[in-house]
Amino acid sequence: MSVAGAGQVFLSLLFELRAAGVPVSTQGWLAFLDALGKGAHGASLDGLYHVARCVLIQSESQYDVFDQVFGHVFKDVPYDRKALLDDIEGWLRDPRPSMSLDPSIRAMLEELGIDELRRQFEERLAEQKERHDGGSKWIGTGGTSPFGTGGAHPSGVRLGGGGGRSALAVADARRYRAFRKDRVLDTRQMAAALRRLRRLTRKGHDEELDLDSTVRETARNCGDLEIVMRPPRKNDVRLVLLLDVGGSMDPHAQLVSRLFSAAHRGGGFRELRSYYFHNCVYGKVYEDAQFERPVPVQELFRELDQNWYLVMVGDAWMHPGELTMTSGSFWAPSRGPSGLGWLAKLADRFPHSGWLNPEPDRFWDAPSIHAIRALFRMFPLSLAGLDDLVRELPNAPRPEQRHLVHEVLREAS
């Protein structure tokens, strides 16, 4: 293989990482070349894997994608890997190593089209999964391919520090799948996401020495000490959680309870209230999940002003009739607003509101979900969804949405 060959392989690593959504920057790429140039990979594919991962990847949530891309890129490398590793040296010694990458990256990306690259990548991924399940072609340990540990291929290069698994086997194992960001994660990570909702303000009693002002005032006072105090910075966000429990929400109970404890323990909100409802809100919510202590929604409206953030948590999955019903019971006399009407009232009262839905978003075309999405900005109950919610909540809803809310309110009244 030629020197250009090694360059080619590395470029395909870069392109495939980018195509898979890993934001490898030019700076990161140059750092990678720098590390290779200093011999950090120790002339082994295993070393190369570690060097590439620690320089190109900046979050454990991308380890899984990296493993897949790395496995894919180096699987296709011609078998004589000793030659490839030698090529790296040659390629790096080339007087124009790090250089012109930038224009060529751009040129190649334009030529291929990122979308096309992504499509191909996804196709191959799908294929790769099947092969892996079959277990005959994908590179593993102890085989005759030059990629494994303890392998018997004549031109094979020692991988790993004796007994360790080969880079490709490690890559193949997908041990970092659990860190993927699109998956639901634990309480701590939810709390970390929620914490970004904070809005720091100085309110309350003067408890903290304001040093800068003290110095300024003292100077103005001809050097006689003039102490200036100020209130400490505190999170000013108040959040109300409305949680759907029971029925179709049962499978999601654990997830919702994690969110709940994350908000309570880690959120650090100025005030946090949570109430429960079943299926849809009909005039009342409950302080407890056993529905024994009802609180009229009107009372919430009285106590909480429009600066409160409202987060609804539920699958929004119900019979369309349940949205038009006026209470949770078929027997109750039909007066007052419907379920949808109550939701519209909530959305109207709390402009900073959002809906977290534990159902995968491919189900969001169901009629009831569709109707509710007209009123609330809806996000999947995953770490990525929570991130989006946290980003969106401080903003006012889009005018179209306000318009829809008002329309429902008019119909309901």
Identify which range of 58-66, 272-280, 300-308, 334-342 contacts another protein by CB under 8 A: 58-66
Q: Is 55 in the site for another protein (CB under 8 A)?
A: yes
At 41, list the tokens.
């990979």
Shortest CA distance to 358 belongs to which of 392, 312, 308? 312
CB atoms within 10 A of CB 120: 13
At 174, list the tokens.
């997908």
Q: Is 189 in the site for another protein (CB under 8 A)?
A: yes
Identify which range of 113-121, 148-156, 190-198, 371-379 contacts another protein by CB under 8 A: 190-198
Q: Is 195 in the site for another protein (CB under 8 A)?
A: yes
Provide the CB-side half-sphere exposure for 7 (13 A, CA): 16
* C-beta of residue 194 within 8 angstroms of C-beta of residue 386: yes
Among 9, 14, 18, 63, binds another protein (CB under 8 A): 63
366 SS3 class: coil
* C-beta of residue 354 within 8 angstroms of C-beta of residue 361: no
Q: Is 178 in the site for another protein (CB under 8 A)?
A: no
At 82, list the tokens.
């000793």
Identify which range of 53-61, 97-105, 289-297, 306-314 contacts another protein by CB under 8 A: 53-61
Dist CA 91 CA 113 (whole Å): 26
Dist CA 85 CA 89 (whole Å): 7
Dist CA 370 CA 209 (whole Å): 53
Among 1, 40, 43, 112, binds another protein (CB under 8 A): 40
How many residues form the binding site for another protein (CB under 8 A)? 43
Shortest Å, Cβ 27 to another protein = 6
Q: Is 54 in the site for another protein (CB under 8 A)?
A: yes
Among residues 179 and 291, whose Cβ is nearest to another protein? 179
The b/e string for 173-182 (b: 16+ C-beta within 10 A; e otherwise) is ebebeeebbe
Q: Is 254 in the site for another protein (CB under 8 A)?
A: yes
Among 60, 122, 182, 407, binds another protein (CB under 8 A): 60
The sign of the dihedral angle between the CA atoms of 297, 301, 303, 304 is positive
Among residues 262 and 340, whose Cβ is nearest to another protein? 262
Identify which range of 73-81, 172-180, 287-295, 342-350 contacts another protein by CB under 8 A: 172-180
Among 3, 5, 28, 105, binds another protein (CB under 8 A): 28
Task: Please report, for residues 275, 288, 314, 342, the alpha-carbon distance to residue 292 in angstroms, rounded to integers and kept in the order given.
Answer: 12, 7, 20, 20
Which residues form the interface with another protein (CB under 8 A)? 23, 25, 27-28, 31, 34-35, 38-40, 46-47, 50-51, 53-55, 57-60, 63, 160-161, 164, 175-176, 179, 187-189, 191-192, 195-196, 211, 214-215, 218, 223-225, 254
